[in-house]
Chain A
Amino acid sequence: MNASSLIAKKERSALLQNQRGLAWLLTYAGILSAFSLLLISNRELSLLDNAQVVYMMAGTVTAAGALIAVIMGSDAYAGERERGTLVPLLTAPVSTGELLLGKAIGLASAWVIMYLLAIPYLWAVGANGQNLGQAIFYLGLFGTPVVLGFGYLAMALSSRSGSVMSSLLTSLSVLLFSASPLLIGPGLRNSAIGKALDAVNPFSGALNTFDAVIIDSDPFTSQVGRLLLVLVWLGLTFALARLSARRPAFR
């Protein structure tokens, strides 16, 4: 087993076998449960069309997944530094590239766990409605680059800042700004500024795709542009993380 796989395995097990990792998963499940319970306890929300509910749940899963990814990414380097384990890691026979790859794969594994956890929630709220299968498929296709991108961005900041708090706050600010379309409906984003932001915001790209394929049953061909947007986001953030991880701040 090479160094990257070992680090990835350690990161993955940290989520499932570590108290802190399980607490993060509990937070994630708590967010999805709270949203689901809101749907059945609020008369107005319970009347929503099933496809609309599935779309909202897919957006919530993406936001909650990105939130956990940001926490994990912020902890990746700065957390090691604060626990005093970064210097031993850097002096071990592991290249900075392998270290980053291990942590990136660990983050991806954590997202896979979160994605699998989200499927029962999607089924629970949308089994009666249309396009549940599409919702699960597109959540994987578009949610993965968005969530991992935020994790890699946090990783890059964590590597450079050396402080969990600092990288977490910066990444959360970016995430909050990007996820604002969850709160602002498509109608309100119809201005020139709203359209321009939608065109470059990967979170909007994913949300607009969920809207198009789950509610409007649009075909995949009309989503290619948005897929490119989220893949570019993933590529850019990973490149940034790679650049930052070459010289992590360890003092």
Chain B
Amino acid sequence: MKHLKYFLAGFLLLSSTLVSAANLQLQLESDRANPGQPTMGNWMHFNSVINNTGQQPIEGLVAWISLVEVTPGKEQPMDLEDWSAHKAVTGTTLQPGAILQTQWPMRLIQSGDYRVVISATDRNNKTVFTSPTIQFHVAQKPVVESTRILPVALGIPLLIGGLLGVQKYRHRHKSS
């Protein structure tokens, strides 16, 4: 009898996990138009498909994009502030068998190796479902050069300020 209880408890736990795990299926693909060798400043798009494979509607679906840097020695989750303005899809309802297709645009701000993943959960389910990850490398790009700008941006005002100082000195010298 004791063994039967354990068996039933185990069966219920396993079956509920299986039902939950089967609820949402996430696919993620890199857009075909993405640059072959992405460089800083380029745009990349990722296409996700979220499929409700369960028997119940999914209420209050939330899906979001995450980016992780995996450059050796710099492994860290990335703040998407500069990278993407489209960070999540919220409040969607998915009927059984329905799919939600989303395109996630992203501007490549820094060079390095990155991995992108889409995660999803819903109002009632405590499980977070994740898509397969996509890894890409962002190449360095020569940007606006500070070596040219700094001497000009600081030098010209200093020069005019110097002339102004000389004028003031002369004016004071004259009046005294």
Decide yes or no: A125 and B156 within 8 Å by CB, A22-B163, A23-B164 being known contacts: no
Closest residue of chain A to B142 (Cβ to Cβ) is A128
A97 to B52, CA, bound (A): 81
Any A CB within 8 A of the CB of B171: yes
Contact bitstring B135-156, A, C-beta under 8 A = 1, else 0: 0000001111110111111101
The interface stretch among A2-10, A29-37, A153-161, A179-187 is A29-37
* B14-30 CB contacts (< 8 Å) to partner A: none
Decide yes or no: A124 and B153 within 8 Å by CB, A44-B82, A46-B143 being known contacts: yes
Inter-subunit contact B149/A124 (CB<8 Å)? yes
User: Looking at the complex, which one of A26, A40, A45, A50 makes contact with B150 (CB distance below 8 Å)?
Assistant: A40
User: Looking at the complex, which one of B40, B157, B167 makes contact with A47 (CB distance below 8 Å)?
Assistant: B40
Any A CB within 8 A of the CB of B168: yes
Number of residue pairs spanning A and B whose beta carbons lie under 8 angstroms apart: 80
Closest residue of chain A to B41 (Cβ to Cβ) is A47
Any B CB within 8 A of the CB of A86: no
A40 to B120, CA, bound (A): 37
Contact bitstring B98-139, A, C-beta under 8 A = 1, else 0: 000000000101100000000000000000000000000000
Inter-subunit contact A36/B109 (CB<8 Å)? no
Any B CB within 8 A of the CB of A249: no
User: Looking at the complex, which one of A22, A36, A39, A120 makes contact with B160 (CB distance below 8 Å)?
Assistant: A22
Separation in Å of the A31 CB from the closest CB of chain B?
A: 10
Separation in Å of the A108 CB from the closest CB of chain B?
A: 20
Any B CB within 8 A of the CB of A95: no
Inter-subunit contact A40/B149 (CB<8 Å)? yes
Closest 8 A/B residue pairs (Cβ): A33-B153, A124-B152, A36-B153, A47-B41, A22-B164, A40-B146, A46-B143, A124-B148
Q: Please give 15 more A-B residue pairs, beta carbons under 8 A apart, in addition to A39-B144, A47-B107, A125-B148.
A: A16-B163, A19-B164, A26-B161, A33-B156, A36-B153, A43-B110, A44-B82, A47-B41, A47-B109, A47-B141, A53-B144, A124-B151, A125-B149, A128-B142, A128-B145
Q: B residues within 8 Å of A by Cβ?
A: 40-41, 82, 107, 109-110, 141-146, 148-154, 156-157, 160-161, 163-164, 167-168, 171
Q: A residues within 8 Å of B by Cβ?
A: 16-19, 22-23, 25-26, 29-30, 32-33, 36-37, 39-40, 43-50, 53, 117, 120-121, 123-125, 127-128
